[in-house]
């Protein structure tokens, strides 16, 4: 073990009000912060006043640092004796490659801990007034990555579960996912919502049904990052109050997602 250490911190889905107290404390003590595009980073210099801030995510015209390089940086800074915060969007263990980073640190003999975060899988639907479970409507929710197309077994399983389906990274595979679910038996009228850039001033929610969503999404020009929610719970969303989109009373602190 070296004197430095790494803490993986979940930053929540965009707004710094969704940082945990533990996350804020870790940032305040950090010597080095490696952060992603989807992690809240607008006020990072204030939250981590002693830290060197390293952007390892995608920014326009700038390529992201490859995963193995990120792991090397974490280890290198910890070996040099630093308290390193790896700040990630949402929760570090939900499609965040947090597991790989923990293993890399352990293999290198670096002490590593994890502070969980508010995941977009649950919080972004909530930002659009959608409860992923609703008594007598849905007693389960399944979170799936849409980064790669879903295979037939996955589509059949999802369509047969009667679960709320939450898809992250699903914008580019929206056609494959929605057509596949209908082919495996989900009714064409099944409600679907697409919530873009949750907890930012650019948040936008699109409500539709499986058979109309491709047309509606194309018309609206839906882009990433967005969460897809499929299932009857979507019909229970609170859509009457235009301000209900923001479940936090923090509109003033909302920032554009870069």
Cβ distance to ligand SAH smaller for residue 4 or 71: 71
Q: Which residue lies nearer to ligand SAH by CB, 139 or 147? A: 147
Rounded Cα gap, residues 30 and 26, in angstroms:
6
Burial code of 170-199, b = ≥16 C-beta within 10 A, e = fewer?
A: bbebbeebbebbbebebeeebbbbbbbbbb
Least separation, in Å, of the C-beta of 195 and ligand SAH? 6
Catalytic residue among 36, 55, 88, 91: 36
Residue 216 is a catalytic residue: no
211 is catalytic: no
Cα 80 to Cα 74, 77, 166, 175, 249: the distances in Å are 10, 5, 41, 48, 41
DSSP state of 29: H
Shortest Å distance, C-beta 2 to ligand SAH: 27
Please name every residue paired with 112 in a beta bridge, in sequence order, or none if there are none. 6
Catalytic residue among 17, 25, 31, 58: 58
C-beta closer to ligand SAH: residue 15 or 104: 15
**Which H or E run includes 195?**
strand 191-196
Nearest to 170 by CA among 142, 194, 147: 147
Quick one: CA dihedral 69, 71, 74, 80, positive or negative?
negative
Please give the residue ranges that form the binding site for ligand SAH (CB under 6 A).
Answer: 13-14, 38, 88-91, 94-96, 119-121, 124, 168-169, 195, 197-199, 224-227
Q: How far apart, in whole angstroms, are the C-alpha atoms of residue 4 and residue 76? A: 10
| Residue 91 or 101 with smaller CB distance to ligand SAH | 91
Is 182 in the active site? no
Residue 113 CB, shortest distance to ligand SAH, in Å, is: 17
Active site residues: 36, 58, 169
């Amino acid at each position: 073990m070296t004197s430095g250490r790494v803490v993986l911190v979940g930053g929540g889905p965009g707004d710094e009000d969704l940082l945990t107290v533990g996350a804020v404390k870790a940032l305040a003590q950090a010597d080095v912060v490696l952060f992603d595009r989807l992690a809240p980073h607008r006020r990072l210099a204030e939250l981590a006043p002693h830290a060197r801030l390293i952007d390892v995510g995608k920014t326009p015209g700038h390529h992201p640092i490859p995963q193995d390089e990120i792991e090397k940086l974490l280890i290198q800074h910890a070996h040099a004796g630093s308290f390193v915060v790896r700040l990630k969007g949402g929760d570090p263990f939900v499609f965040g490659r947090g597991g790989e980073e923990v293993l890399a640190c352990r293999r290198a003999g670096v002490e590593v801990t994890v502070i969980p975060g508010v995941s977009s899988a649950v919080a972004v639907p909530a930002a659009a007034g959608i409860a992923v479970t609703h008594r007598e409507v849905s007693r389960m929710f399944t979170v799936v990555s849409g980064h790669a197309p879903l295979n037939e077994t996955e589509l059949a399983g999802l369509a047969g579960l009667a679960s709320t389906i939450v898809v992250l990274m699903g914008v580019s595979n929206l056609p494959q996912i929605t057509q596949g679910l209908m082919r495996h038996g989900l009714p064409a009228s099944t409600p679907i919502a697409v919530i873009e850039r949750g907890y930012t001033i650019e948040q936008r929610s699109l409500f539709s049904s499986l058979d109309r969503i491709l047309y509606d999404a194309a018309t609206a020009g839906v882009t990433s990052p967005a969460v897809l929610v499929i299932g009857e719970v979507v019909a229970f969303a609170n859509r009457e109050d235009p301000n209900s989109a923001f479940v936090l009373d923090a509109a003033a602190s909302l920032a554009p997602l870069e």
